Amino acid sequence: MVHWSGHNSSVILILTKLYDFNLGSVTESSLWRSTDYGTTYEKVNDKVGLKTVLSYLYVCPTNKRKIMVLSDPDRESSVLISSDEGASYQKFRLTFYIVSLLFHPTQEDWVLAYSHDQKLYSSMDFGRKWQLVHEHVTPNRFYWSVIGLDKELDLVHMEAHTVDGRAQYVTCRIQACSESSRNFPFPGYIDTSSLVVQDDYVFIQDIVIGMDMHIISTDENQVFAAVQEWNQNDTYNLYTSDTRGIYFTLALENVKTTRGLEGNMMIDLYEVAGIKGMFIANRKLDSQVKTYITYNKGRDWRLLQAPALDLAGNEIHCVLPFCSLHLHLQMSENPYTSGSISSKSSAPGIIVATGNIGSELSYNNVGMYISSDAGNNWRQIFEEEYSIWFLDKGGALLAVKQATVPIRHLWISFDEGKQWSRHSFSLVPLFVDGVLVEPGAESQIMTFFGHFSHHSEWQLIKIDYKSIFTRRCTEGDYQTWHLHNQGEPCVMGEKQIYMKRRPGNHCMLEKDYSRILSAEPCICRASDFECDYGYERRSDGKCLPAFWFNPASVSRSCSYGRNYLNSTGYRKVVSNNCTKGVKEIYTAKKQQCQVRAPKGLQLLTSEGKMTATLGTNVTFLVHLEELDFGDGTAVSYSNLTWTKDGIKHVYKSAGIFRVTALAENSLGFDSTSLYLHITCAVEHVHLLAPFVAIKNKEVNLTAVVWPSNPRTVTYFWWLSNSTELYLSVKFISYTFTVEGMNIVTVQVSSGNNILQDTKAIAVQEFFKSLLLSFSPNLDEYNPNIPEWRQDVGRIIKKALLQVKQLLVAVFPGVPTAAELFILPNKNQSEGRKKSEEDLEHISAVLISALNQNLVEFELKPGIRVIVYITQLTLAPLVDSSPRHSSSAMLMLLSVVFLGLAVFLIYKFKRTTTSNKPSPPLPGTPRISLNTLPNTTTQSFPPEVPRVVAHLHFTFSHNATLYNKQIFPPKHSNGHY
C-alpha cells in the first residue's frame, strides 16, 4: 500500500507485506516513510513495534496528517494512531478485529469500525476508545449522517439483521443506540444489501422478487439507477429520476454488465468528467454489444463515429449504423492503475479509452483512442493497450504500456495525443505494478513502483516531470473551445465555452486556472424535455401514457386546499438550463386539489410482523395514499399514545387482537384492520394421557402448558407410532387400533418457542386395575417431583426383568397413591377366556397379599413403607366389549395425570421378606423384591432421601387423586 498525503506535502508512506503461500498468511510487514517526495525512504518498524505485523493503512480524509494503521488480526488486534503524518505512533489494543473503517465527512476524530463478527463500533477520539453501536450489521451498509439533511452529526444509517435473518433499515446516534433509542425510518423489512446513502438520497429496496437495483449516480439532484428485471441475466435497464429521486423513467435498456476481480457487479456506464449530462454506455442488442453516447442525461443516445484514418494514416471504411467505435468502460479497482477509459474535469472534452472498430464490442484487435471534442470525433493513438494518466491538470498525457513483460519507457504528449515523445524511466526493465500521482497535482512528481523480476524486492522510481515544461502559461497559450453535439451548440440547454491550453505548448498551467469561460442559456426546444413518469415515447416522438399508468391518479394524492402539478407528459431534463421557447407548453400546470373521501388506508407494524411478544412496545404505522387532510380528517384510536414515529402500545395479555385504523372527512371514511398475535413464550408442556387404553375405544389426550395462553398456542400431534401430523387445540380424542406400546408426541408452538412431550400408552383389549396407597411415612419423603418417581421406577425395572404383566403408575401429589394395571399375557395361546382367568387369579393373589400387609419396601435404613389396597372390592374386568359398565371406564380414565412414573413389574418371588414373618395364607405368596442399587445420577433436594437398594414392593391405602398445579416445579410446598 502506498499513500501520499498530497496538498503540498512531501511525505509518502509505503506498507509492504510478505505473504507465505505455504502458511497461507502474512508473516512480515514493513512500514516505510519518505519526507522528500520519495527520493529517500526510512524504515519505521521500530516506531510501530518490531514484532508487529501490519495489515492496512488508513488516512483521515479531512486531515491528511492523521493516520490509522491496523495490525494483522491473526497475530493481534490493535490499532496504531499517528497525528504527524506517520512520524510517531500510539498503539491501542482492541477487543475485536477491524475489517473496515469509515471516517466522518467533517469530524476528523469520528470513525466507524466494522468487525469480523458483523458488529459496528464507533470512536470519537480517532480510535483510542471504541463503543459498540449495533450488532448483525450488513457489510458495507453503514453510513454517517448526511450533512445538511440530518440534524445530528453523530447519526448513523445502517442495515441490520434481526434474529431470524431479515434486514431492516435502522438509524441511531452513536452514543445512544440502545434498542429503545433506535429508529426504523422504513416500516417492515428490506432486501439484503440494498441500503445506500449517497448525497441527498437514502435508498432501500423493498423485498421484490426478480429485481435487483444499483445506484449509479446521484449528481446534480438526480438519480441514475440500474435495475435488473426478472427476465435479464447479464444486462440492466438504466433509469433516471426527477429531482426528488422518487419517479423514474427509462433511459436505456439492456446495459451490459461485467464482474470485477472481487466478484462485484459493474455496470458498463461511464460519466464523462467535466461535461454535464454526458454519459457513455455499452448496450446489448440482438446478442451484440455496442457503445452509445448521450449529451442530455439519457434522453437521446447515438453510436460513436469511428475515426476516418487509422494510426498509419490509412482510410477506415466504417459506416453507421453497421460499423462504429466501441469502447471498454471498466473502471480500475486498483487505485494505482488507470481504467480502460479516462477523463478529467480539469481537462474537459478529452476522453481516452481502449476500444475497437467494427459491428460490436470486442476484446480482439483493440487499440487506444482519444477524443478532444467530447466524443464527437475520435483518433487512434496506440495499437495496443496503454494506461493513461493526466499530468498538470490535464495539460499533458502520460502513457505506459500494459504489458506482461518488464518495460522501461513511457510516452508523454502535449498536444492531446497527436504526437508522443518517448522517455526512459529506468535503466533496467521493470514490471510496473502501479503509479502514484500526488493528490492535487501541484508538485509535478509521480512514483512508479514494481519489480525487476517476480522474485526481486520492491523498486520505487521517482519521476519529477516539472523539467519537461519550459515556463508558466500566459494568456496567449490558451484558446477557446465550444462544446457541441455533432455541430449543435446547445448542450443541456446552454452554449458552453471552455478555455483550453493550445495543443503543443509546453507551458505549465496556472494554479487558479479556470476551465469554463462562459455559459449562455438557449431557447427551450422539444429536445430539452423527456417523457414524464408514466409516459412513454412513441415512434412519432410524442410522450403518451403507458398502458399501466392512469394520469388521473396523481390528483388523488393531494390535500384539499393545496395544489398539484398536472403533467403534460413531459418534464425538462434535470439540470437543463434552457429558457422560454416551448417551456410553457411542456411544463406541468398547477391545479387545485379537490375534496375526496379517504381511500387507501394502510395499517402495519413498524417491524412488518403480525406478531409481538407480550410486554414489548408495538409501534403501528398508518399510511393513507389518498386522504384529504384539509377537511377534518382524523385517525381514531383508543388506549394508544400518538407520536411522530407512529402509534405505540404495550399489550398486557396474550392473545389475538384486532387493531383498526379509521380515517374520515366530510365526504366519507376508510378503515382497515390487522390481526396481531401477542405471544407469551411457553415454558413447560406436559402430556396428560392414560397409561393403559382399550383397543378401539376413544380416549382423551390433553397437553397442559404453562403459562396458559390458549389463543396463541398451536398444537401438533403425532399418534400411534405414526408420522402423520394432526393439528388441534390443547386436547384431542383418538382411538388406538393396534395393541402394544403406542407412542404419543405433542409439540406446542408459541411465537418462536417450541416445546415437546412424549408418552407411551399400553393398548390392550382388556385389563384389570387396582388402586393402591402407601403407609403415611412415605409422604414425609415425597418431594412430589417427576424425577423422584422416575428414580423409584428405574430401580424396580432393574430388579424385575421377566414378567411383563404388571404396569404400575405412581400419581403426583400427596398422599402418595398409585394404580396397578394387570395386563393379559401375550404369550398365552389358550384364548381370551384363559387370559381373563389368569388376570382374575393374579388379581386375587395381589389382593390377598396387600390385605395382609405383606408387600413393603425399605425406603432407607430404618424406614419401611407398606403398600395397601385402597378398596377391597375390584372393579369389573375392563375390556372392549359393550357389556362392561361405564363406571369402570371412567375409573380408568380418571387416573390420567401428567408426569406419572411408570413401573414394569416383571417377576414374582414367593419368599418371606418381613423381619417378623407372618404365616402365609394358603395359596397366597409373600411378595419380596430384591433390587439392584440405582447407578443413575439424578439429583434431589438435600432433605429428600434418595431411593436405594433393598426395595421391598408394597402398596398402601387411600387412592385419592390430586389435581394440583403442574408447573413449574416447587419442592417446598409439595406441588408443581
Q: What is the DSSP string of 234-302?
A: SEEEEEEE-TTS--EEEEEEEEEEEE-TTS-EEESEEEPTTSTT-EEEEEEETTEEEEEEESSTTSS-E
Class of domain 526-592: alpha beta
Q: Judge if 599-674 and 684-761 fold alike in CATH terms.
A: yes
Task: Kindly tell me if the per-residue pLDDT of 638 is higher than 80.
Answer: no
CA distance linking residue 531 with residue 764, whole number of Å: 82
Buried b (16+ CB within 10 A) or exposed e, 529-550: bbbbbbbebeeeeebeeeeeee
DSSP 3-state helix, strand, coil percentages of the chain (rounded to 5)?
10, 45, 50
Question: Comparing C-alpha atoms, which of 474, 468, 463, 628 is closest to residue 558?
Answer: 628
Q: How many other β-carbons are positioned within 10 Å of the β-carbon of residue 906?
A: 16
Q: What is the DSSP letter of 711?
A: G
Instruction: Tell the residue number behind the cell numbers 405383606, with chain if given.
Output: 854
Model pLDDT, residue 643: 46
Question: Comparing C-alpha atoms, which of 915, 814, 901 is closest to residue 861?
Answer: 915
Q: What is the mean pLDDT of residues 147-161?
A: 92
Q: What is the mean pLDDT of residues 43-56?
A: 90
Write the single-letter amino acid at 607: E
Tell me if the domain spanning 684-761 has CATH number 2.60.40.2410. yes
From the options 2.60.40.10, 2.60.40.1170, 3.20.10.10, 1.10.3720.10, give the CATH code of 599-674. Answer: 2.60.40.10
Cβ-based neighbours of 782, under 8 Å, separated by 6 or more: 788, 814, 816, 974
Higher pLDDT, 21 or 547: 547
- Enumerate the domain spans of the chain: 208-384, 472-521, 526-592, 599-674, 684-761, 767-976
Question: Comparing C-alpha atoms, which of 380, 349, 375 is closest to residue 294?
Answer: 375
| Phi, psi of 778, deg, nearest 5 | -65, -35
CA distance linking residue 811 with residue 866, whole number of Å: 17
CA distance linking residue 101 with residue 67, whole number of Å: 12
Q: For residue 82, what are the β-bridge partners? A: 67
C-beta separation of 416 from 351 below 8 A: no
Question: Comparing C-alpha atoms, which of 884, 221, 214 is closest to residue 575?
Answer: 221
Question: Comparing C-alpha atoms, which of 467, 625, 474 is closest to residue 554?
Answer: 625
Nine-digit cell at 515? 476551465
Q: Tens digit of pLDDT for each residue in 899-950?
A: 322 332 322 333 333 333 333 333 322 222 222 223 333 333 333 333 322 3
Instruction: Tell the residue number behind the cell numbers 462504429, with chain if given.
Output: 324
Q: For residue 535, what are the β-bridge partners? A: 545
Most confident of 206-215, 315-324, 718-727: 315-324
Using 50, 70 and 90 to split pLDDT, how confident is the model at 438?
low
Model pLDDT, residue 320: 95
Model pLDDT, residue 596: 74
Nine-digit cell at 126? 480517532
Helical segments of 289-354, H only: none
Nine-digit cell at 523? 431557447
Task: Kindly tell me if the per-residue pLDDT of 743 is higher than 80.
Answer: yes
Share of the chain above pLDDT 90, in %: 37
Record the pTM: 0.68
Most confident of 47-61, 568-582, 729-743: 568-582
| Phi, psi of 24, deg, nearest 5 | 70, 30
Q: What is the mean pLDDT of residues 329-338?
A: 83
Task: Kindly tell me if the per-residue pLDDT of 635 is higher than 70.
Answer: no
Task: Kindly tell me if the per-residue pLDDT of 951 is higher than 60.
Answer: no
C-beta separation of 447 from 462 below 8 A: yes
Q: What is the mean pLDDT of residues 538-546?
A: 91
Q: Tens digit of pLDDT for each residue in 617-631?
A: 777 777 664 443 333
Fold of 472-521: Complement Module; domain 1 (2.10.70)
Using 50, 70 and 90 to split pLDDT, how confident is the model at 890?
very low
Q: What is the mean pLDDT of residues 489-511?
A: 89
**DSSP per-residue string spanning 84-125:** STTSS-EEEE-SS-EEEEEE-SS-TT-EEEEETTS-EEEESS
Instruction: Tell the residue number behind the cell numbers 496528517, with chain if given.
Output: 65
Burial class (CB in 10 A: 0-12, 13-18, 19+), 630: middle
